[in-house]
A and B are shown apart, each in its own frame.
Chain A
Amino acid sequence: QLQLQESGPGLVKPSETLSLTCTVSGGSISSSSYYWGWIRQPPGKGLEWIGSIYYSGSTYYNPSLKSRVTISVDTSKNQFSLKLSSVTAADTAVYYCARLEVVPAAMPFDYWGQGTLVTVSS
Protein backbone atom coordinates (compact mmCIF):
# COMPACT_ATOMS: atom_id res chain seq x y z
CA GLN A 1 0.00 0.00 0.00
CA LEU A 2 1.44 3.34 -1.04
CA GLN A 3 2.01 5.82 1.77
CA LEU A 4 3.09 9.45 1.72
CA GLN A 5 4.33 11.27 4.81
CA GLU A 6 5.02 14.99 5.11
CA SER A 7 7.72 16.22 7.45
CA GLY A 8 9.19 19.57 8.40
CA PRO A 9 8.91 22.45 10.87
CA GLY A 10 5.44 23.28 12.13
CA LEU A 11 6.36 26.90 12.81
CA VAL A 12 8.08 29.30 10.44
CA LYS A 13 8.86 32.97 10.99
CA PRO A 14 7.56 35.63 8.58
CA SER A 15 9.89 36.37 5.65
CA GLU A 16 11.69 33.03 6.09
CA THR A 17 11.50 29.94 3.89
CA LEU A 18 9.08 27.09 4.54
CA SER A 19 10.64 23.69 3.81
CA LEU A 20 8.77 20.39 3.73
CA THR A 21 9.67 16.89 2.57
CA CYS A 22 7.35 14.11 1.45
CA THR A 23 8.63 10.56 1.89
CA VAL A 24 7.04 7.93 -0.33
CA SER A 25 6.90 4.32 0.83
CA GLY A 26 5.34 1.23 -0.72
CA GLY A 27 6.14 2.37 -4.26
CA SER A 28 8.79 4.03 -6.38
CA ILE A 29 8.84 7.76 -6.98
CA SER A 30 10.63 7.00 -10.27
CA SER A 31 7.61 5.37 -11.93
CA SER A 32 6.78 6.86 -15.31
CA SER A 33 3.05 6.66 -14.56
CA TYR A 34 2.93 9.33 -11.88
CA TYR A 35 3.68 12.91 -10.96
CA TRP A 36 4.00 14.11 -7.38
CA GLY A 37 2.40 17.22 -5.99
CA TRP A 38 1.91 19.64 -3.12
CA ILE A 39 -1.48 21.05 -2.10
CA ARG A 40 -2.31 23.32 0.82
CA GLN A 41 -5.42 24.28 2.76
CA PRO A 42 -5.58 27.37 4.97
CA PRO A 43 -7.67 26.89 8.13
CA GLY A 44 -11.37 26.84 7.24
CA LYS A 45 -10.70 27.35 3.53
CA GLY A 46 -10.46 25.31 0.36
CA LEU A 47 -7.70 23.36 -1.34
CA GLU A 48 -5.00 25.12 -3.35
CA TRP A 49 -2.65 23.33 -5.73
CA ILE A 50 0.93 24.52 -5.20
CA GLY A 51 2.86 22.56 -7.79
CA SER A 52 3.84 19.19 -9.23
CA ILE A 53 7.03 17.37 -10.22
CA TYR A 54 7.97 14.38 -12.34
CA TYR A 55 10.75 12.02 -11.28
CA SER A 56 12.92 13.50 -14.03
CA GLY A 57 12.70 16.89 -12.31
CA SER A 58 10.19 18.51 -14.65
CA THR A 59 8.02 20.92 -12.65
CA TYR A 60 4.74 22.81 -12.87
CA TYR A 61 3.87 25.59 -10.44
CA ASN A 62 0.72 27.50 -9.54
CA PRO A 63 1.16 30.84 -11.35
CA SER A 64 0.09 32.73 -8.21
CA LEU A 65 2.94 31.16 -6.19
CA LYS A 66 5.52 30.53 -8.89
CA SER A 67 7.89 33.30 -7.87
CA ARG A 68 8.26 31.84 -4.36
CA VAL A 69 8.02 28.06 -4.91
CA THR A 70 10.64 25.43 -5.63
CA ILE A 71 9.79 21.72 -5.78
CA SER A 72 12.58 19.16 -6.09
CA VAL A 73 12.88 15.37 -6.15
CA ASP A 74 15.44 12.97 -4.67
CA THR A 75 14.90 9.60 -6.31
CA SER A 76 17.64 7.96 -4.22
CA LYS A 77 15.66 8.71 -1.06
CA ASN A 78 12.20 8.30 -2.65
CA GLN A 79 11.36 11.83 -1.53
CA PHE A 80 10.25 15.11 -2.99
CA SER A 81 10.40 18.50 -1.32
CA LEU A 82 8.76 21.91 -1.21
CA LYS A 83 10.36 25.25 -0.51
CA LEU A 84 8.22 28.38 -0.21
CA SER A 85 10.14 31.60 0.33
CA SER A 86 9.23 34.93 1.91
CA VAL A 87 6.31 33.47 3.84
CA THR A 88 3.61 35.54 5.51
CA ALA A 89 0.69 34.70 7.75
CA ALA A 90 -1.33 34.00 4.60
CA ASP A 91 0.84 30.93 4.03
CA THR A 92 -0.40 29.33 7.26
CA ALA A 93 -2.08 26.12 6.15
CA VAL A 94 -2.19 22.36 6.25
CA TYR A 95 0.23 21.20 3.57
CA TYR A 96 -0.45 17.91 1.80
CA CYS A 97 1.72 15.90 -0.53
CA ALA A 98 0.01 13.63 -3.03
CA ARG A 99 0.54 11.39 -6.04
CA LEU A 100 -0.93 12.28 -9.43
CA GLU A 101 -1.80 9.38 -11.69
CA VAL A 102 -1.40 9.89 -15.42
CA VAL A 103 -4.60 8.64 -17.05
CA PRO A 104 -6.14 9.67 -20.39
CA ALA A 105 -7.35 13.28 -20.27
CA ALA A 106 -7.02 13.41 -16.48
CA MET A 107 -4.49 13.43 -13.67
CA PRO A 108 -6.19 12.68 -10.36
CA PHE A 109 -4.51 12.97 -6.98
CA ASP A 110 -5.04 9.34 -6.02
CA TYR A 111 -2.95 9.05 -2.84
CA TRP A 112 -2.53 11.74 -0.19
CA GLY A 113 -0.40 12.22 2.86
CA GLN A 114 -2.12 12.98 6.16
CA GLY A 115 -1.10 16.62 5.95
CA THR A 116 1.02 18.79 8.21
CA LEU A 117 0.06 22.14 9.71
CA VAL A 118 2.55 24.91 9.13
CA THR A 119 2.00 28.14 11.05
CA VAL A 120 3.74 31.34 10.05
CA SER A 121 4.27 33.47 13.13
CA SER A 122 7.02 35.31 14.93
Chain B
Amino acid sequence: SSELTQDPAVSVALGQTVRITCQGDSLRSYYASWYQQKPGQAPVLVIYGKNNRPSGIPDRFSGSSSGNTASLTITGAQAEDEADYYCNSRDSSGNHPFGGGTKLTVL
Protein backbone atom coordinates (compact mmCIF):
# COMPACT_ATOMS: atom_id res chain seq x y z
CA SER B 1 0.00 0.00 0.00
CA SER B 2 1.20 3.51 -0.78
CA GLU B 3 -0.96 5.23 1.85
CA LEU B 4 0.61 7.55 4.41
CA THR B 5 -1.08 8.16 7.77
CA GLN B 6 -0.70 11.27 9.95
CA ASP B 7 -2.37 12.43 13.15
CA PRO B 8 -4.90 15.15 12.23
CA ALA B 9 -3.81 17.61 14.91
CA VAL B 10 -0.99 18.21 17.35
CA SER B 11 -0.31 21.06 19.76
CA VAL B 12 2.87 22.33 21.40
CA ALA B 13 3.69 25.03 23.92
CA LEU B 14 5.79 27.90 22.66
CA GLY B 15 9.47 27.01 22.86
CA GLN B 16 8.87 23.30 23.44
CA THR B 17 9.64 20.34 21.20
CA VAL B 18 7.04 18.59 19.06
CA ARG B 19 7.19 15.48 16.89
CA ILE B 20 4.85 14.91 13.95
CA THR B 21 4.72 11.37 12.61
CA CYS B 22 3.86 9.69 9.33
CA GLN B 23 3.32 5.96 8.86
CA GLY B 24 3.30 3.89 5.70
CA ASP B 25 4.76 0.79 4.12
CA SER B 26 6.67 2.79 1.50
CA LEU B 27 8.68 4.43 4.29
CA ARG B 28 10.51 1.16 4.81
CA SER B 29 12.20 1.72 1.43
CA TYR B 30 12.03 5.47 0.78
CA TYR B 31 12.53 8.58 2.87
CA ALA B 32 9.68 10.95 3.59
CA SER B 33 9.63 14.57 2.59
CA TRP B 34 7.89 17.12 4.81
CA TYR B 35 6.01 20.24 3.76
CA GLN B 36 4.75 23.22 5.74
CA GLN B 37 1.64 24.97 4.49
CA LYS B 38 0.21 28.17 5.90
CA PRO B 39 -3.29 29.41 5.00
CA GLY B 40 -3.57 30.67 1.45
CA GLN B 41 -0.01 29.70 0.56
CA ALA B 42 1.65 26.98 -1.44
CA PRO B 43 3.39 24.21 0.51
CA VAL B 44 7.06 24.68 1.34
CA LEU B 45 9.56 21.82 1.58
CA VAL B 46 11.15 21.75 5.05
CA ILE B 47 12.82 18.32 5.27
CA TYR B 48 13.78 15.70 2.69
CA GLY B 49 15.95 12.62 2.42
CA LYS B 50 17.63 11.21 5.50
CA ASN B 51 17.55 14.60 7.28
CA ASN B 52 18.16 17.45 4.85
CA ARG B 53 16.91 21.02 5.09
CA PRO B 54 16.56 23.23 2.03
CA SER B 55 18.27 26.58 2.16
CA GLY B 56 16.42 29.02 4.40
CA ILE B 57 14.73 26.43 6.62
CA PRO B 58 15.65 26.94 10.30
CA ASP B 59 17.72 24.24 11.97
CA ARG B 60 15.00 23.69 14.58
CA PHE B 61 13.38 21.46 11.93
CA SER B 62 14.78 17.92 11.70
CA GLY B 63 13.70 14.57 10.34
CA SER B 64 14.18 10.94 11.25
CA SER B 65 12.91 7.54 10.25
CA SER B 66 12.50 4.09 11.77
CA GLY B 67 10.80 1.14 10.14
CA ASN B 68 7.54 2.31 8.59
CA THR B 69 7.46 5.61 10.50
CA ALA B 70 8.96 8.96 9.58
CA SER B 71 9.05 11.87 12.00
CA LEU B 72 9.39 15.63 11.73
CA THR B 73 10.69 17.24 14.91
CA ILE B 74 10.53 20.94 15.70
CA THR B 75 12.87 21.77 18.58
CA GLY B 76 11.86 25.02 20.25
CA ALA B 77 8.63 25.65 18.36
CA GLN B 78 7.93 29.25 17.41
CA ALA B 79 4.62 30.97 16.80
CA GLU B 80 5.39 31.13 13.08
CA ASP B 81 5.60 27.33 12.96
CA GLU B 82 1.83 27.07 13.39
CA ALA B 83 0.72 25.52 10.10
CA ASP B 84 -0.39 22.33 8.40
CA TYR B 85 2.35 19.77 7.84
CA TYR B 86 2.23 17.08 5.17
CA CYS B 87 4.46 14.09 4.63
CA ASN B 88 5.06 12.64 1.19
CA SER B 89 7.06 9.79 -0.20
CA ARG B 90 7.40 7.69 -3.29
CA ASP B 91 6.72 4.01 -3.69
CA SER B 92 8.14 1.29 -5.90
CA SER B 93 5.48 1.93 -8.57
CA GLY B 94 6.46 5.56 -9.01
CA ASN B 95 3.53 6.96 -7.06
CA HIS B 96 3.99 9.94 -4.73
CA PRO B 97 1.22 9.87 -2.11
CA PHE B 98 0.75 12.53 0.54
CA GLY B 99 -0.30 11.98 4.12
CA GLY B 100 -3.57 13.51 5.24
CA GLY B 101 -1.81 16.37 7.00
CA THR B 102 -1.28 17.42 10.62
CA LYS B 103 -2.50 20.76 11.91
CA LEU B 104 0.09 22.12 14.36
CA THR B 105 -1.09 24.58 16.98
CA VAL B 106 1.49 26.53 18.97
CA LEU B 107 0.05 27.46 22.36
Task: Please indicate the chain B residues that have their CB under 8 angstroms from the CB of A46 in the complex.
Answer: 84, 86, 98-101
Write the nearest CB–CB distance from A20 to chain B, whole angstroms.
15
Number of A-B contacts (CB under 8 A): 73
Answer whether A52 and B96 are a contact pair too, CB < 8 Å, given A106-B49, A110-B45, A114-B42: yes
Interface size on B, residues (CB 8 A): 29
The CA of A105 and the CA of B49, in the complex, are separated in Å by 7
With contacts A47-B86, A60-B94 taken as known, whether A106 is within 8 angstroms of B42 at the C-beta atoms is no
User: Which residues of chain B (32-51) have a CB below 8 Å from chain A?
Assistant: 32-33, 35, 37, 42-45, 48-49
Q: Is the CB of B90 within 8 A of A62?
A: no
Secondary structure call for the A interface: strand
Binding site for A on B (CB under 8 A): 29-33, 35, 37, 42-45, 48-49, 52, 54, 84, 86, 88-90, 93-101
